[in-house]
Amino acid sequence: MESPVKYARSGDVHIAYRIIGDGPHDIVLIPGTLSHVELLWEVPTNDYLLKRLTSFARVIVFDKRGQGLSDRVAEQTIEERIGDVRVVMDAAGCRRATIYGWSEGGPMSLMFAATYPERTASLVLYGTFASMQSPPWSVTREQIDQFLGVMEKHWGEGALVRLNAPSRVKDQAVMQSFAKLEREAASPGSILALLRANFEIDARHQLSTIRVPTLVLHRAGDALVPVAAGRYLAEHIPGAKYAELPGEDHLVLDQETQALIADEIEEFITGTSHRPEPDRVLATVMFIDIVQSTEHAAAIGDERWRNVLRKYYEIVRKELASFRGREVSTVGDGVLATFDGPARAIRSACSMREKLLSVGLRVRVGLHTGECELIGNDVGGIAVHIASRVESAANPDELLVSSTVKDLVAGSGIQFGDRGTHSLKGVPGKWHLFVVRQFGSGRMSASLSKEC
């Protein structure tokens, strides 16, 4: 997935772009509210989508003018922005491509397909709209002013997650990752100017002029851009195919939905879908993150916080190695890891907790054992979701486990406290959770014999 950053010149503006993969089809990705040709694609679910798309295509990503590694210009028109797409395609040696635009990038993609049909092999739209002010979305000026007020107040703190993925607001790792992405990608002023301009765009009259094959994707419960906006696009673009996906967050931060999106795009472009068949294995999944990491980082400053994170990862990785754990991914200060045994996972987590406390870091940990899907180095499936939700339910300094973990370590001497039944967001049914209290048989140090 490593590829150099290059620049295409659009008038006096330099547009940063990358070419990833070498498949037989070309896809140009037109991002939503913000772009950064490096950081945006380090988000695990975006990285997964890229890997899927590059299995059958050459993918071109770029930074919109005023953002990321492109020149930071103060003003821009949609005409200039679609011109930027054309010069990036020229620089990449791309004659025709599938244009894939999502969210804020949708109107821009619609205009490009209508203006340059000879350069557009097909059009893919996700979670987007033709007009904000007009039906079926019908956003009022008062509503957009309120929206922009929240963006301005919280930009650089994870504002996009707050507004576009409310279910993940309490996920400190996600919030921290997007806070950095926002700060690096654009200033508050440039984002507000872009969104104000988008509020005035009305691309409805262009829909009937689009003559390229078009795929429209939308989440059924999208809490930001109503699903009616996606249905409207499909109804008014001649011959468009429409697919509705499950979920409520506008921002796609789960691998399952990205997999569905990749399946739809691959079948639309190639006529077939070849999602890698996952290996399935029983594993104990661990999520760990630092308690109140955002407040801690704000209190000590970026440089000292980087040193704290360096020490944190050093300790976590050393303990994973000691107990045969496998690091799967990291986002911010969150770590996802797997173990081949639940008792070993518990001991590793408690050892981490002890050593992190000694350097002034408090953590919460969640564990669940279940069948996982392994695709390359990634891990997926319901077991991963359950472990994440268990971790979210843990209090500071707690190691919380599912009843499955507790049952599997019977006879190990590990003792538990009952935390009752819980509803885990997005997971069916009630789940009985337990907090690890102590180890028996003197297997661990005295300091680990307290609740963890």
pLDDT digit string (tens) for 272-317? 766 666 677 889 999 999 998 878 888 888 888 888 888 999 999 9
Q: What is the pLDDT of residue 374?
A: 77
Q: What is the pTM of this model?
A: 0.67
- Ranges of residues in the chain with a pLDDT under 50 are 440-452
d(CA 357, CA 349): 12
Structure tokens at 430: 């009630």
Q: Tell me how far apart the alpha carbons of residues 370 and 384 are, in angstroms, rounded to a whole number.
A: 8
pLDDT at residue 376, rounded to an integer: 64
Measured CA to CA, the distance from residue 415 to residue 434 in angstroms comes to: 10
What domains, with CATH codes, occur in the chain? 6-139+189-270 (3.40.50.1820), 279-448 (3.30.70.1230)
pLDDT value at position 349? 94
SS3 352: helix
**Residue 115's closest CA among 153, 168, 79?**
79
Two tokens at 446?
A: 């005295």
135 cis-preceded (ω within 30 degrees of 0):
no
Write the single-letter amino acid at 417: G
Q: pLDDT at position 276, please?
A: 62
DSSP annotation of 369: E
- 3-state class of 327 per DSSP? strand
Burial code of 160-184, b = ≥16 C-beta within 10 A, e = fewer? bbbbbbebbeebbbbbbbbbbbbeb
Per-residue pLDDT at 447: 39
